[in-house]
Amino acid sequence: MSRLDILWQRVTVGAATCERCGDTGQSVRRAAELLRAELAPRGIEVALTEKALPPFAVEESNRVFFNGVALEELVGQRHEVAVGMNHCQSCCDMLGAQTDCRTLIVDGRELEALPEELLLRAGRIAAEKL
């Protein structure tokens, strides 16, 4: 059986994370469940790991990897993708300092939280390589 490993990482303080990472978390969990159901008939197991990063590791926060390959690299094979940063009030409140957080710009649209549809797209691209 082949395996699709999904790693989602985000900054945490205690058990808390910012709103946009929280939204991504909901999407990545749903996407992992959908990919499990979709890929099981092809003999592909899907495993999701959630990694907590220390405060102020915002440049590495809210990132998702599929078998070690970043979502932006996978999706960038078929779309125009860039990494950006913008003000995140939720992180400012959580970290107690002015904070810009990582964003993903896909086909000119800036995403603060990663939507389920984009996660599914990346997961399917990664599964094609198995």
Residue 15 confidence (pLDDT): 87
Q: What is the pTM of this model?
A: 0.95
Owner of token pair 């699709």: 4
Residue 42 confidence (pLDDT): 96
Query: Which portions of the chain are predicted below pLDDT 50?
Result: none
Buried b (16+ CB within 10 A) or exposed e, 57-95: ebeebbbbbbbeebbbebbbeeeebeeeeeebebbeebb
Residue 1 confidence (pLDDT): 86
